[in-house]
C-alpha cells in the first residue's frame, strides 16, 4: 500500500501538467500590452539572406496590434479589432482585410487574443527551446511560427511560410503591461492613397 501511494504521488504531477498550448496561452495572456523594437532577417529555402528590416511593434489585448517597418522601406500593419490595414507608402496603397479571416492565414494575429477560438486550428508543441505553432490549414500563408521567451518576456520569433522562406525576429527595448496610446491602433486613410478593400470579397458585398 505504501509503495502504491508513493507511485501515485509521483505520477499525479505529470497528469496535471499544462500542455504546451495551455502554457503558451498563459504566457501570452500575461502580456496585456507590449511595445518593443524589432530586427528581422529573411532567408530563402537555401538559407541565403534575402532582406534585413527593423522597426517598432505594439500589441494591446484584446485584438489590437501595430507593426511598423522603418528600414529599409516603410510599411505599417494595423489590427484594430475588426479590420487589418496594410499601409504601403511606396505604392501609395492601403489593403484592408477582415481581421477574423486574417487569423486563418497568419497565426501572428493570435498574439492579440490568446482566447480566440482560432487557436484550435493550430498544433502547438515544444521545440528548440520555444513554442512551435503549426497551421493545420494548408492554405495558411504562415506554415509555422515559433515563440521564444526570456522568462516572461517574448524575446524572439521565427516564422516559416509556405514558400519555405524563414524570418528571424528579435525584440529589444521591451516594455510590458505599460499604458499604450490607443491612437496607435486607429487607422486613418492617408491623403492620395488608393484603398484595396478586401473585407467583403468573400461574400461579394
Task: Please say if the pLDDT value at position 9 is more than 50.
Answer: no
pLDDT digits (tens, 9 = 90+) for 48-88: 999 999 999 999 998 899 999 999 999 999 999 999 999 99
11 sits in which H/E element? helix 2-16
- Domains of the chain (ranges; CATH) run 33-197 (2.50.20.10)
pTM confidence score: 0.81
pLDDT digits (tens, 9 = 90+) for 177-202: 999 999 999 999 999 999 999 987 54
Q: With pLDDT > 90 as the criterion, what percentage of the chain qualifies?
A: 62
- b/e 12-44 (16+ beta carbons within 10 angstroms → b): eeeeeeeeebeebbebbeebeebbbebebebbe
Amino acid at each position: 500500500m505504501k509503495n502504491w501511494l508513493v507511485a501515485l504521488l509521483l505520477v499525479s504531477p505529470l497528469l496535471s501538467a499544462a500542455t504546451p498550448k495551455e502554457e503558451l496561452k498563459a504566457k501570452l495572456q500575461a502580456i496585456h500590452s507590449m511595445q518593443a523594437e524589432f530586427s528581422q532577417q529573411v532567408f530563402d529555402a537555401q538559407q541565403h539572406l534575402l532582406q534585413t528590416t527593423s522597426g517598432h511593434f505594439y500589441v494591446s489585448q484584446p485584438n489590437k496590434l501595430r507593426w511598423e517597418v522603418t528600414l529599409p522601406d516603410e510599411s505599417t500593419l494595423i489590427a484594430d479589432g475588426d479590420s487589418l490595414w496594410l499601409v504601403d507608402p511606396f505604392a501609395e496603397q492601403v489593403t484592408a482585410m477582415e481581421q477574423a479571416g486574417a487569423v486563418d492565414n497568419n497565426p501572428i494575429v493570435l498574439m492579440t487574443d490568446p482566447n480566440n477560438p482560432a487557436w484550435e486550428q493550430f498544433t502547438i508543441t515544444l521545440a528548440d527551446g520555444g513554442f512551435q505553432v503549426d497551421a493545420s490549414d494548408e492554405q495558411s500563408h504562415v506554415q509555422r511560427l515559433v515563440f521564444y521567451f526570456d522568462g516572461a518576456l517574448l524575446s524572439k520569433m521565427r516564422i516559416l511560410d509556405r514558400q519555405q522562406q524563414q524570418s528571424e525576429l528579435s525584440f529589444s527595448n521591451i516594455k510590458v503591461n505599460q499604458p499604450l496610446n490607443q491612437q496607435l491602433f486607429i487607422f486613418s486613410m492617408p491623403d492620395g492613397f488608393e484603398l484595396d478593400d478586401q473585407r467583403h470579397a468573400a461574400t461579394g458585398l
